[in-house]
Chain A
Amino acid sequence: GDSVTQMEGPVTLSEEAFLTINCTYTATGYPSLFWYVQYPGEGLQLLLKATKADDKGSNKGFEATYRKETTSFHLEKGSVQVSDSAVYFCALTSFGNEKLTFGTGTRLTIIP
């Protein structure tokens, strides 16, 4: 079945550091890929998505590129801020199936 493997956390970085959170997936066909973010005390919010190979999703300075050859969708940001502290979830939906399959989440803490 479909699965998502996410970088183990927690991750702690200093403000303005470069961020990478790794995500790889297993799915039949051509899934759509997502990053969701959960800020403290809030619900899940869609951060970015990509629906086909080589697409790049971007939002709020975050980027992720759909790499079919490596079945990966790593999240990156060039300079993190304290306000980026949250839990980040990588997820996918398979073609013809709207069910989201999530990774386990990565807790990110940015220190000033």
Chain B
Amino acid sequence: EAGVAQSPRYKIIEKRQSVAFWCNPISGHATLYWYQQILGQGPKLLIQFQNNGVVDDSQLPKDRFSAERLKGVDSTLKIQPAKLEDSAVYLCASSLGGDTQYFGPGTRLTVL
């Protein structure tokens, strides 16, 4: 069974530029999560989707971050404009709806 796919794996941009990350969850997983992991910290949930609906986006900085999961399968997370403090690893995870979440390899973003 294929795992959670993410791309790109690495991205370097300058502040005020925009960037987008893509995630394809495990086939059949209805729930999809985006986490932000700043260096030296644990991952923090940004947004949770159930199929194509948002369950929790309370921690998403909505003035600059957006996410969508239009067909209830893959998802994109966008940052526009980026700030220096957005430098982090962005993790996508999926689950069938139970406790266990399966994580992708992450996208490491560096904002200069």
Contact = CB atoms under 8 A, between A and B. Distances in A.
Contact-residue size bin, chain A (C-beta under 8 Å from the other chain): 20 to 34
Contacts of A102: 42-44
A86 to B, nearest CB: 14
Interface string B93-112: 10101011111111000000
A91 B42 contact: yes
A104 B41 CA distance: 5
Contacts of A69: none
Interface string A67-110: 00000000000000000000001010100001110111100000
Interface residues of B, number: 26
Interface in B10-26: none
Given A43-B3, A98-B33, A99-B45, 18 more contacts: A6-B42, A32-B99, A34-B99, A36-B103, A43-B103, A43-B104, A43-B106, A44-B43, A46-B101, A89-B42, A89-B43, A98-B48, A98-B55, A98-B99, A99-B48, A100-B101, A103-B42, A104-B40
